[in-house]
Amino acid sequence: MKVADLDILLQEGEGVMLEYKEGISGSFARELVAFANTAGGKILLGVRDNGTVKGIADTNVLRARIQDIARNCDPPVQILLQHIGMVTVVTVLESDAKPVQCSDGFFLRQGAVTQKLSREEIRDMFRQGGAVRFDLSPCPAFRYPEDFDPVKFREWLQKSTISQPSPVEDILVNIEAAERSGGKLLFRNAGVLFFAREPRRFFNHAYVTCLLFKGTVKLHVLDRKDFAGGIVADIEESLRFIERNTRTAYRIEKLQREEIPQYPVAALREALTNAVMHRDWFIEGGNVFVEIYDDRIEVSSPGTLPKGMLPEDLGSKSIRRNPLIADLLHRIAFIEKAGTGIRRMRDGAREMGYPEPEFIAGNFFTALFRPIHEASEQGIRHVPDMHPTCTAHVPDMYPACTPQVIAILNLAEGEAKTRGVLQEVAKIKNREHFYQHYLQPLLSAGLLERTVPDKPRSPKQRYVTTAAGRAMIEKSDKES
């Protein structure tokens, strides 16, 4: 630095990267760590707050004291010293091991002021620097075995490639879901999300919200479900919600029926898995959303792209925000460990004739899916709520063999019921949605019939299960 450069700094005034100090005071260490935690900066010693030069003697004692204060920060702050005219210039380098602290705590430069960091700001800095991983962090509130769900663990184990009969505790430690500490089993956050009896007791944001909207805007909700059974169950239940609330088509060729979902199921499963796996779990005020509209499905997860990841990198580059969650999902074949999720979603949709999904990165990351376009051109016939394993033998509409449908048919078997009672057992809040997607398809398929057939709007109208409906119940019982 030259005298001319110093003159510019003196005219510039204090700012986010510049501080004036008459001498070394008790706050000097705070200034050092504040610059190190921000973007670096310069401290001009021998300068008053108004920018006039008071001057300070350049002595070995002064230089040694400055170096000593910098070394005693944790981690040490890297500085450069230079004496120009009557001013000592302390250049503070940005730390690559944030956050840095001094004996007074953690500080950050905000404008021309040094501010002490709050607990949340410290945590965010650790997280952004990659020093703390949510999924790898311990969860002291979790108590083993009281809070552990052996059924969830056994189901996960059956899906995995682990076959050797080892004690449960040993397996949990080997897969890094837990660690031994002081003779006890200490669960990590990922282990809690997979194997806790009630994950939301420990993380209130550990759930997926699925919404069905009327039309193409976020206004009228026809159906809503919150799934909070753990990572694996949340993915599977969300996919069932999508299948239940979207349509399936079929094409008849050579007396064989080919079933074509309205949306690419495999790609949606990938999107749901990615949303749960890559979400920013440090954001406690948000959760994963699945939103179904008439013209699209959106799967959104809280958090911006991981540090070092750009929108143009999607599909060609992968940074795992939650490596342990990814590993536990990889072990049960929910994902490919190579980080190919975006590319597989695109390729899978395109190869099956669906529009490629769109990806929107912001404070939430969203995967947007459009329905198949070629249905009418290819002679494909759409039918609402169909399920491939349980259908009625009718030529037009027939409903899915879902738990709601079976509950309706069971309740109306033998004794006629009102629409309201049937809607209640199906747990559908919206009356129009229940009529269009459940009651009317059941009537059209001949699985239910009206007790007053010539007066559909009669206040005395009741509904009773037909012989075809009873056959569906029996078929469902056998398949379950």
pLDDT tens per residue across span 327-376: 899 889 888 755 567 888 888 888 888 999 999 988 899 999 999 864 43
Listed residue (348, 331, 330, 347) closest to 339, CA to CA: 330
| Distance, CA of 107 to CA of 279 (rounded, Å) | 28
From the CB of residue 52, how many other CB atoms can be counted at a distance below 10 Å?
Answer: 9
How confident is the model at residue 60, as a pLDDT? 94
Which CATH number does 208-369 carry? Answer: 3.30.565.60
How confident is the model at residue 115, as a pLDDT? 86
Q: How many Cα atoms within 13 Å fall on the side-chain side of residue 358?
A: 8
Class (C level, CATH) for 385-479:
mainly alpha
| Distance, CA of 422 to CA of 84 (rounded, Å) | 86
Which tokens hold the place of 47?
Answer: 């300068």
Q: At what angle do helices 265-278 and 323-331 cross, to 10 degrees?
A: 140
CA separation (Å) from 220 to 27, 144, 215, 217, 300? 57, 43, 8, 8, 19
Q: At what angle do helices 60-71 and 28-37 cross, to 10 degrees?
A: 50
What is the domain partition of the chain in residue ranges? 3-128, 150-201, 208-369, 385-479
Which tokens hold the place of 421?
Answer: 């009672």
Residues 409, 411, 415, 420: is their CA dihedral positive or negative?
negative
Strand, coil or helix: what is 47? strand
Please state which of the four CATH numbers 3.40.1260.10, 3.30.200.20, 3.40.50.800, 3.30.950.30 is assigned to the domain occupying 3-128: 3.30.950.30
Per-residue model confidence as pLDDT tens digits over 56-111: 999 999 999 999 999 999 999 999 999 999 999 999 998 888 889 999 999 988 77
Of the given ranges (125-129, 419-423, 424-428, 465-469), which has the lowest mean pLDDT? 125-129
| Distance, CA of 107 to CA of 95 (rounded, Å) | 13
Pairing of strands 18-21, 41-45: parallel
| Distance, CA of 50 to CA of 13 (rounded, Å) | 8
Per-residue model confidence as pLDDT tens digits over 273-313: 999 998 988 888 889 999 999 999 999 999 887 666 666 66
